[in-house]
Amino acid sequence: PQTPATLYAGTWGGGVCRSADGGDHWTAVNTDLVTPQVYALAIDPLAPNTLYAGTYGGGVFRSTDGGGHWVAVNTGLTNLNVRSLAIDLVTPSTLYAGTSESGVFRSTDRGDQWVAVNTGLTSTGLYVYALSVDPITSSTVYAGTLDCVFRSTDRGDHWTAVNTDLVTPQVYA
């Protein structure tokens, strides 16, 4: 919001790209991003030069200079195929990572340490394709999996399926 003309795109094979002119021109910003397959991006709302990239096989990377340089932040993250990321807009030091086969992980220190938060998350394979944190009640988190939508009202500690009447339960975004 502070720089609306600045956009980021995670690509499959090209890493992270940045546009400073609303998408007219793009530049790769991948120094130290050792995994170029990027599934997800999250931007700190209070520090827009701090971004997180969820990658295939490399876990989560953090940049504090708008993508200029990246560092892996994977301590405690037991699955490095990160398909989705969400940041708590109220407390941006809290992040969630959705993985392939290992469910959801939470960090409360900007990605330095991760813990699995999967109680009640009973989905086929625990593939988490989508994550969202309620912008007003940040203790409420949603996870879209291979076959269900789940809600947590305690920052991911416990999950409940909420996909009644959902025609096709596979959630990818």
pTM exceeds 0.85, yes or no: yes
Q: Is the pLDDT of residue 109 over 60?
A: yes
Q: Is the pLDDT of residue 171 over 70?
A: no
Average pLDDT of span 85-100 = 96
Query: DSSP string of the chain?
Result: --STT-EEEEEBTTEEEEESSTTSS-EE--TT----BEEEEEE-SSSTT-EEEEEBTTEEEEESSTTSS-EE--TT----BEEEEEE-SSSTT-EEEEESSS-EEEESSTTSS-EE--TT---GGG-EEEEEE-SSSTT-EEEEESS-EEEESSTTSS-EE--TT-SS-----
Instruction: Give buried/exposed letters for 19-55 (b at 16+ CB in 10 A, else e).
Output: eeeeeeebeebbeebebbbbbbbbbbeeeeebbbbbb
128-165 pLDDT, tens digit each: 999 999 999 999 999 998 888 999 999 999 999 997 77
